[in-house]
């Protein structure tokens, strides 16, 4: 890539007037100067982000953070609005308002991203087993909720910050992408193989995905299936995804503002999305599960969210 030249006159003019600039403006101008000089800076001005835009932050340790997609503000009905295959803990349908845009990682956090954390001295030095399925671009598995938090702590320390686990409401809002059906593409389970790595449930061995032409019987590389209309991949299936909320058996008393529910059984946290060895009903946008904060499991992973407002 050719580096753009910045004239000495332009630099002198900048330093002549920088004292009069508001700090926020100064920061953006400095980043533009560095970027034009070819310094590899990736700065995202929060007030310039638009829904659907994707971005990645440069990390102080080298490389880039997860690819993030801006999710728009809005309202939605949370719970089993499709009235199909509902579980009791999903049936108190309630409106949630997401007042501000936020960002969600386009893919589940991968082994490559986790291993970068470990190589930099983070994530407790823990190297999860890939069960022989491969690392690199596959979602990291065998990580507990506590360990997901350790990755986020590292990510925030190496970036501009704001990363976190999504709330359960944010996760469902992002998974639905404006829909009220079982899946973001509709209710037709025969189409699920285009959008999700899952088990078809037609045999006694749930990991035999015989109805799908790809024949995947384990964790697939992220991005192997079609995204939803928000641009997010694997919101159904592949691996269960930790979210921030404490476990509650239903939605009575749940927050209506999209924030994480921080009361209830906080030794157990919510999991969403289903996984590669679960049948279609467990991959529904409304489906919920939970697990102990310290438990590692070969079907559990996570994706990250990022706050975009002060």
Cβ-contact 68, 164 below 8 angstroms: no
State both tokens at 86: 């509902």
Whether pTM > 0.75 for this model: the answer is yes
Query: What burial class does residue 36 get, using C-beta atoms within 10 Å of its C-beta: 0-12 exposed, 13-18 middle, 19+ buried?
Result: middle
- Residues facing residue 202 across a β-bridge: none
Q: 222 or 39: whose pLDDT is higher?
A: 222
Mean pLDDT computed over 272-280: 94
Please report the pLDDT score of residue 45 as a whole number.
Answer: 59
113: pLDDT strictly greater than 70: yes
Name the one residue in this structure whose structure tokens are 């990645």: 56
Domains of the chain: 1-41 (no CATH), 68-307 (3.90.1580.10)
pLDDT in tens, 123-142: 999 999 999 999 999 999 99
Among 148, 144, 152, which residue's Cα sits nearest to residue 268? 144
């Amino acid at each position: 890539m050719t580096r753009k030249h910045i004239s000495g006159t332009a630099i002198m003019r900048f330093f002549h007037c920088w004292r009069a600039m508001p700090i926020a403006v100064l920061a953006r101008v400095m980043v533009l100067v560095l970027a034009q000089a070819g310094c590899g800076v990736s700065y995202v001005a929060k007030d310039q982000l638009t829904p659907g835009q994707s971005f990645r932050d440069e990390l102080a340790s080298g490389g880039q953070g997860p690819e993030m997609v801006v999710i728009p503000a809005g309202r939605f009905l949370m719970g089993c609005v499709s009235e199909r295959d509902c579980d009791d803990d999903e049936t108190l349908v309630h409106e949630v308002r997401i007042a501000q845009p936020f960002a969600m990682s386009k893919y589940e956090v991968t082994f490559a991203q986790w291993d970068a954390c470990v190589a930099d001295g983070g994530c407790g030095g823990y190297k999860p087993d890939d069960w022989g399925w491969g690392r690199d671009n596959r979602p990291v598995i065998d990580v507990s909720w506590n360990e997901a938090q350790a990755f986020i702590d590292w990510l925030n320390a190496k970036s501009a910050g704001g990363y976190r686990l999504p709330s359960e409401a944010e996760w469902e809002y992002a998974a639905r992408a404006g829909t009220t059906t079982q899946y973001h593409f509709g209710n037709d389970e025969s189409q699920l193989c285009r959008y999700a790595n899952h088990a078809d449930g037609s045999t006694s061995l749930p990991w035999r995905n015989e109805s799908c032409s790809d024949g995947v019987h384990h964790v697939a590389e992220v991005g192997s299936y079609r995204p939803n209309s928000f641009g997010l991949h694997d919101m159904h299936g592949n691996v269960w995804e930790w979210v921030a909320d404490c476990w509650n058996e239903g939605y009575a008393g749940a927050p209506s503002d999209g924030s994480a529910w921080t009361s209830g059984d906080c030794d157990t946290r919510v999991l969403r999305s289903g996984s590669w060895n679960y049948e279609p009903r467990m991959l529904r946008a409304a489906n919920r599960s939970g697990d102990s904060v310290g438990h590692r499991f070969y079907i559990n992973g996570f994706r990250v969210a990022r706050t975009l407002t002060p």
